[in-house]
Amino acid sequence: MNRQVHLCLLGASMSLIALAGLTGCGQGSSNSGSGGGGEKQRGTLTILAASSLIDAFGELGKTFEKQNEGVTVKQSFESSSTLLTQIRQGAPADVFASAAMEEMNTAVKDGLVAGDPKVFVKNREIIMVPNDNPAGIKEFRDVAKPDVKLVLAQKDVPAADYALQILDKANAEYGASFEKDVLSNVVSRESDVRASVNRVVVGDADATFGYASDYTIDIRDKVKVVPIPPDLNIIATYPIAALEDAKSPELAKKWVELVTSKEGQRVLEKWNFEPAA
């Protein structure tokens, strides 16, 4: 019986420890949260950014932490549509950087954004194919050839929305069935643009629509670019804004300043983005 009591007590004390741990965690995070709002040089800046920004913002995040000692930059990169859903569901964040006006406009309309969004950078779409180019795609119109395994980002993801607009425009030039032929080649819809680019990088897809900025240094030995004729291409505009519920509004403002500054623009251009102005 003693053993039984011991076991019970052991179990009880373990659950107490677990409870203490839980409450401890809660306190810890709320502390750092309120600390972030108070002073400039302390706290955490949380950024939700379109997945195409992962490299450029990654670099700028380090710059920001260097410029503001004691500040931690936390970033989450997903499709702008996913990020919008997360913000609507109350995800704690300070800044939203979208790959399209549409998501930002919705956020503004829902009163989730503080102040006016700023367009900070532009981008254009390209076709990417694996280096060995199994489907033999030499020019843009080849993506309509039968049996091309084409991967697109999911419905409502800006990269896919732009792709559909481009196909729509191309119909006028290549014939009315062009868009239909291309869409019938789609074998998978990925969660964001980087995921669809990775399908080409691992060689399973024959082609995908991505941004010029997605053609990063580390995939250049695996992927080739097929440009989209400029008259058919759509210029993607990226707006950025601080969020209404930001815990660190000061830091959020500073981040927007950094991104739109000369230095920020230089980093973005380095990663194949185009200047906003």
Partner 1 sequence: MKERSKEVLPPRTFPWSDTLASGLAVVALALLAGFVSLPLLSLMVWTVSEDSWRAMASPVAVDALLLSVRTTAMTMAVLLLVGTPAAYVLARVDFRGSRVVNTLIDIPVVLPPSAAGIALLLAFGRLGLVGRYLDVFGVTLSFTTAAVVMAEIFVAAPFYVRQAATGFGAVDRTVEEAALVDGASRSAVFFKVTVPLALPALVAGALTAWARALGEFGATVIFAGSFRGITQTIPLAIFAEFQSDIDAAVALSVLVLGFAFVVILAVRYLTARTNGT
Binding site for partner 1 (CB under 8 A): 1, 4-5, 8-9, 11-12, 15-16, 79, 81-82, 85, 134, 149, 151, 154-157, 186-191, 199, 202-205
The nearer residue to partner 1, 14 or 172, going by C-beta atoms, is 14
Nearest distance from C-beta of residue 191 to partner 1, angstroms: 7
Nearest distance from C-beta of residue 179 to partner 1, angstroms: 18
Q: Please, which residues have CB within 8 angstroms of residue 150's CB and are 6 or more apart in sequence?
A: 143, 182, 185, 186, 187, 205, 206, 207, 208
Residue 238 tokens, joined: 């990226």
The nearer residue to partner 1, 12 or 172, going by C-beta atoms, is 12
Q: Which residue has the tokens 């580390």?
A: 218
Nearest distance from C-beta of residue 207 to partner 1, angstroms: 13
CA gap 95, 257 in Å, rounded? 12
* Residue closest to 80 by CA, chosen among 110, 107, 62, 116: 107
The nearer residue to partner 1, 53 or 71, going by C-beta atoms, is 53
The nearer residue to partner 1, 172 or 187, going by C-beta atoms, is 187
Nearest distance from C-beta of residue 138 to partner 1, angstroms: 20
Nearest distance from C-beta of residue 26 to partner 1, angstroms: 15
Residue 222 tokens, joined: 């695996």
CA gap 168, 26 in Å, rounded? 50
The nearer residue to partner 1, 169 or 194, going by C-beta atoms, is 194
CA gap 42, 30 in Å, rounded? 14
